[in-house]
Amino acid sequence: MADRRHSHSIARLIGARVVVVLLAVAAGLATPLAAQVKTDEPPVVEGARPVTIERAKVHSPAIEGNLEGNSADRDVIVVLPPSYRADPTRRYPVVYALHGYFIGAEQWIQEIHVPQVVEGAFAKGVPEMIVVIPDSKTLHLGSFYSSSPTTGDFETFVARDLVAYVDSHYRTVPRREGRGLVGHSMGGYGATRIGMKHADTFGALYIMSPGGLEARPIAVPDAASIAALHRIGSREEGAEVPFPARGLLAMSSAWSPNPKQPPLYFDLPFDREGKPVDEVLKRWSANSPLAMIDQYVPGLRRYAAIAMDIGDKDRTADVQALHARLLDYGIENSLEIYPGDHTNRVGFRFQDHVLPFFGSHLSAEVAPAPTSPEVAGDEGSGPYPAIMEVDPTLPRHVIYRPRDLGPFAAKKLGVYVWGNGACSDDGASVRNHLLEIASHGYLVIASGFVGEELARVQAARPAAGPGLPLTVPTTTQDLRDGLDWALAQQGRAGSKYRGAIDPAKVAVSGFSCGGVQAIELATSDERVNTLIVQNSGLFPQGAARIPGMDLGKEALTKLRTPVLYIQGGPTDIAWQNGRDDFERISHVPIVMVGLPVGHGGTYHDPHGGAAAGIAVDWLEWQLRGNEDASRSFVGANCRICTVPGWTIDRKGL
């Protein structure tokens, strides 16, 4: 009880004295309570068609392990345009919109009047796009979209993890020219910071009433208030500090983290007597976009357009300074100072300025279809950029894995064993698909060879002579050998995978003939936890058996795990075999998805296309228990259910 009284006394003292705490983000922090209550609402646009709002949980490896205990599973609002469900072949540009301090994503969409303003913009002729609004509220009510061990790396969450999730779950234009970034207040700071540093991810930039561009306090706070902040003894006490002093804690968490300073793990920029601490303020200044701009000029020149706006009753000096600095470097940008304060016109601005800006400057053009199975630079769209390699201890296989294995000391890699189409020994025949799987935190093992070794092996293989039995280059034993090797690495001294693999998260999958190999392994090996059969199925009884695909239908009775079939629709030569498998399987959960793409699937599309995204969701659900991923398959309004042209059949879920 004594600690509770102490906490309340701190809150009362700070609440009484903090009125003189003026911060560089004062415009963004000054009236949050009023901003949540009411902002001017644009009139409804006649004829506006409804958008669809989805809510997702996006896991961010960049935020994992932060000292404040902020969740790495972030709430995200996704606004899909009116035509999204009706046109399953169309892709859309994406605008990532960042909210301000004190409020989260749900509060911000009320402040800017979403969905009304998005529907209104489209009705006025703005080209349709997807709008994504992530929640970046933290223990102290705002991340400042910075990279900090205390709050977590929210900069990378937005620029990498969030973008990867959206590109893998929605029909986006997955390149920088199709992505825009906008933010308001603290979000305006975030858009400026992230925009400067990640021009390789975004193609157009809009900054609304940014706060914190100088990243410094502009007046010495009351000494008694600062002394009270220094006496905070727990995270709970810190969470009771009232606004606006809470902003000082948030910025300290973002800009002056200190892992050796529990319980809040940061350094305040004022000492216990209220005097500025120069060493801390220097660290704050290093986070100022006005200080950083010189380092990121080449990236800023890549943007198709940069725009800024701010109300004439707001703090305009910092925005004008940013505008001028960009012009000094010859970087074209616009600044509009409009009649208004920090929040009152934000809905009008979003409808009539922000979305039209992106409609004019984002590209809706999709990259042309690849002419080979390899997309240059494709490392998957997941949070862990992936590579393809060979290992001398596994000579008949190709490995796909996250480039950086550091995160998997804690999270652990799942294992994905792959059988090639035609049971071939080309271990890179569907590399885009396998890189995509690996980029989501999986060790992928494919039978076969690559490069010069593949050419040598294939050249040395004798041609099948008349009357000789047909053979295939790989068998189910190759998949089993790959699984044996992968699981052995978990405990092998000297292995880079030692301690990084979860043997309880094993999936087996394959394409066409390789799909039959996958079924055979799944029905004979208890280490397999789930099965994905792609463009494949077992031949019915009495049918002519093809080498490598002569597994009988009776094998299906031995399945022990949930099964996903991904087929290419009625034009897929394996469609009927797969349908018959589905009808026969009733003792384990099973889903069959049909995509209208034929037997060739989407393996050669960038990031493996739609089928890879579906496979990732299945793996995340079945192996990692991700409930958001399950939404692709479960419920009358599941993601797959709502895409015209796609089909889904389910049993036992």
Q: Rounded mean pLDDT of 426-434? A: 94
pLDDT in tens, 509-543: 999 999 999 999 999 999 999 999 999 999 887 65
For residue 3, the model assigns a pLDDT of 43
378 in any annotated domain: no
**Number of other residues whose CB lies within 10 A of the CB of residue 558:** 12
Residue pointed to by tokens 């006025």? 124
First to last CA, the chain: 49
For residue 438, the model assigns a pLDDT of 97
- Looking at the fold, whether 566 and 478 belong to one and the same domain comes out as yes
For residue 465, the model assigns a pLDDT of 57
376 in any annotated domain: no
Domain assignment of residue 609, given as a range: 386-460+469-651
- Looking at the fold, whether 60 and 174 belong to one and the same domain comes out as yes
- Looking at the fold, whether 124 and 165 belong to one and the same domain comes out as yes
pLDDT in tens, 132-157: 999 999 999 999 999 999 999 999 99
Q: Rounded mean pLDDT of 538-549? A: 67
- Looking at the fold, whether 401 and 294 belong to one and the same domain comes out as no
* CATH number of the domain enclosing 325: 3.40.50.1820
- Looking at the fold, whether 338 and 477 belong to one and the same domain comes out as no
Specify the higher pLDDT residue, 39 or 35.
39
- Looking at the fold, whether 354 and 402 belong to one and the same domain comes out as no
- Looking at the fold, whether 391 and 357 belong to one and the same domain comes out as no
pLDDT in tens, 310-321: 999 999 999 999
- Within 8 A by CB and 6+ apart from 335, the residues are 307, 308, 309, 310, 319, 320, 323
Q: How far apart are CA 151 and CA 92, in angstroms?
A: 32
Q: How far apart are CA 275 and CA 606, in angstroms?
A: 55
- Residue 28's pLDDT band (boundaries 50, 70, 90)? very low
Instruction: Say whether pLDDT at 21 is over 50.
Output: no
- Looking at the fold, whether 330 and 426 belong to one and the same domain comes out as no
pLDDT in tens, 402-412: 999 999 988 99
Q: How far apart are CA 437 and CA 597, in angstroms?
A: 20
For residue 525, the model assigns a pLDDT of 96
For residue 33, the model assigns a pLDDT of 37
For residue 433, the model assigns a pLDDT of 95
- Looking at the fold, whether 423 and 488 belong to one and the same domain comes out as yes
152 in any annotated domain: yes
- Looking at the fold, whether 441 and 588 belong to one and the same domain comes out as yes
In sequence order, the β-bridge partners of residue 97 are: 182
261 in any annotated domain: no
Q: How far apart are CA 626 and CA 160, in angstroms?
A: 19
Q: Say if residues 208 and 51 touch (Cβ distance below 8 Å).
A: no
Q: How far apart are CA 130 and CA 169, in angstroms?
A: 12
How far, in Å, are 420, 439, 444, 448, 629 from residue 434 at the CA level? 11, 9, 7, 13, 19
Number of domains in the chain: 2
145 in any annotated domain: yes
- What mean pLDDT is reported for the chain? 89
For residue 208, the model assigns a pLDDT of 98
- Looking at the fold, whether 414 and 350 belong to one and the same domain comes out as no
pLDDT in tens, 84-114: 988 877 889 999 999 999 999 999 999 999 9
- Looking at the fold, whether 337 and 455 belong to one and the same domain comes out as no
For residue 367, the model assigns a pLDDT of 60
253 in any annotated domain: no
Instruction: Say whether pLDDT at 31 is over 60.
Output: no
Low-confidence winner among 220-234, 264-278, 427-441, 512-526 (lowest mean pLDDT): 220-234
280 in any annotated domain: no
242 in any annotated domain: no
